[in-house]
């Protein structure tokens, strides 16, 4: 088992080359669940623009690399998501043209320590070393491939613990790409993640977590207690 620590030279998967950006609250069920709270402090109103966050380079790992769990945490939330790998510069991309700008899709396990509030950026919870296992990338040929229903599954020790589909997204891949590139350029090799439901299964030290997307791929990583690594 490898327990790479960034910036080990052998640490990175083939993707990404640049920025990895994810969308929060892009699962329709979460907006419904949170709706009663979204009118009161600290949120005051439901979100209008996509809620985004970044997974920096220290989080990127490949298949089989160990994810280190700090002793302060009971476990890590595992979330299968779809990464949209950008093929060419995206500036104010119209929704209907999105497929022309996408190089491929990949499976990503967007890991985070549990946190209840979404008011402040959860850097300490989401951006720990190794908290973004990135799996294989598959080319998508056309608009149909981009718009297809992609089913994402999370397994812990081989048991299916969560499943959702791009059909349940608030914003489709194409819509998300349009809304994000309205104000920030995405470059070839950047990855845009479509999000995960907030209710994610908890993986504990000693367990193996796998995420997969039909037709795209699968990536599995062991969760290891930090002091044991």
| Residues lying near other proteins in the complex (CB under 8 A) | 5-7, 18-19, 21, 24-25, 42-45, 47-49, 51-54, 56-59, 70, 91-92, 118-124, 127-129, 183-187, 190
The kind and range of the H/E element at 174 are: helix 173-180
Q: Among 88, 106, 101, 102, which Cα is nearest to 15's?
A: 106
Cβ at position 124, least distance to other proteins in Å: 5
Q: Which is nearer to other proteins, 41 or 141 (CB)?
A: 41
Q: Which is nearer to other proteins, 91 or 160 (CB)?
A: 91
| Cβ at position 211, least distance to other proteins in Å | 22
Are 208 and 201 spatial neighbours (Cβ–Cβ below 8 Å)?
no
Taking the least distance from each CB to other proteins, the nearer of 213 and 223 is 223
User: Based on CB atoms, which residue is closest to other proteins, 26 or 155?
Assistant: 26
Residue 23 vs 98, nearer CB to other proteins? 23
Strand order in the sheet with 217-225: 67-69, 217-225, 208-213, 151-156, 159-165
Handedness of CA 53, 58, 60, 65 (dihedral sign): negative
Q: How far is the CB of 195 from other proteins (least distance, A)?
A: 12
Q: How far is the CB of 157 from other proteins (least distance, A)?
A: 26
Q: How far is the CB of 70 from other proteins (least distance, A)?
A: 7
CA-based nearest residue to 114, from 28, 218, 42, 204: 204
């Amino acid at each position: 088992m490898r327990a790479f620590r960034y910036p080990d030279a052998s640490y990175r998967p083939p993707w990404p080359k640049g920025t990895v950006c994810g969308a929060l609250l892009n699962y329709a069920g979460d907006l419904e669940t949170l709706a009663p709270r979204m009118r009161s402090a600290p949120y005051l109103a439901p979100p209008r623009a996509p809620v985004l966050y970044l997974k920096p380079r220290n989080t990127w790992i490949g298949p089989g690399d160990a994810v280190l769990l700090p002793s302060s945490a009971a476990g890590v939330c595992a979330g299968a998501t779809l990464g949209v790998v950008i093929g060419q510069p995206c500036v104010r991309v119209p929704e209907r043209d999105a497929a022309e700008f996408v190089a491929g899709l990949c499976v990503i396990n967007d890991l985070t320590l549990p946190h209840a509030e979404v008011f402040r950026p959860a850097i300490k919870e989401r951006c720990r070393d190794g908290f973004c296992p990135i799996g294989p990338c598959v080319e998508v040929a056309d608009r149909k491939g981009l718009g297809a229903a992609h089913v994402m599954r999370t397994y812990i020790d081989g048991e299916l613990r969560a499943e959702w589909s791009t059909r349940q997204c608030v914003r489709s891949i194409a819509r998300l790409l349009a809304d994000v590139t309205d104000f920030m350029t995405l470059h070839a090799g950047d990855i845009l993640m479509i999000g995960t439901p907030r209710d994610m299964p908890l993986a504990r030290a000693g367990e193996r977590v796998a995420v997969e997307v039909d037709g795209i791929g699968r990536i599995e990583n062991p969760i290891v207690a930090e002091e044991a690594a």
